[in-house]
Amino acid sequence: MNGIPVCSCLVLISQANESEIVTSEGLVKDGKLNPVQEAFLDEGAVQCGHCIPGMIVSASALLMRNPNPSVDEIRIALSGNLCRCTGYTKIIAAVQRAAKNWSH
């Protein structure tokens, strides 16, 4: 929301009024996945799908602020998203891979 990742379940609609909202679907440009989306697929970081949209939006926001994050910075940026399937190893690898291809 307005360039900052938020937990959608904690934002009142009145807070979102007139805000710019970007979802994982909104990261697709001209039918092309963004580097984070591509990296999640390439690294096999997509499991059940419940956490992936939040992970992708959070990782994209991180890379917009910091195109070369450390593993600790990636962990902090993703800390609001809980995954019960992957153990985070592939997710972190996907963000690192996306950072190498980031050009936004």
* Each residue's pLDDT tens digit, 68-89: 999 999 999 999 888 888 778 9
pLDDT in tens, 15-61: 999 999 999 999 999 999 999 999 999 999 988 888 899 999 999 99
Task: Report the pLDDT value the prediction gives residue 48, as an integer from 0 to 100.
Answer: 83
Could you tell me if residue 30 is inside a domain? yes
**Structural domains counted in the chain:** 1
Task: Report the pLDDT value the prediction gives residue 104, as an integer from 0 to 100.
Answer: 60
Task: State the residue range of the domain holding 59.
Answer: 23-100
Could you tell me if residue 1 is inside a domain? no
Could you tell me if residue 15 is inside a domain? no
* pLDDT band at residue 103 under the 50/70/90 scheme: confident
Three-class HEC string of 30-92: CCECCHHHHHHHHCCCCCCCCCHHHHHHHHHHHHHHCCCCCHHHHHHHHCCCCCCCCCCHHHH
Could you tell me if residue 74 is inside a domain? yes
Task: Report the pLDDT value the prediction gives residue 69, as an integer from 0 to 100.
Answer: 97
Domain of 29, CATH number, reads 1.10.150.120
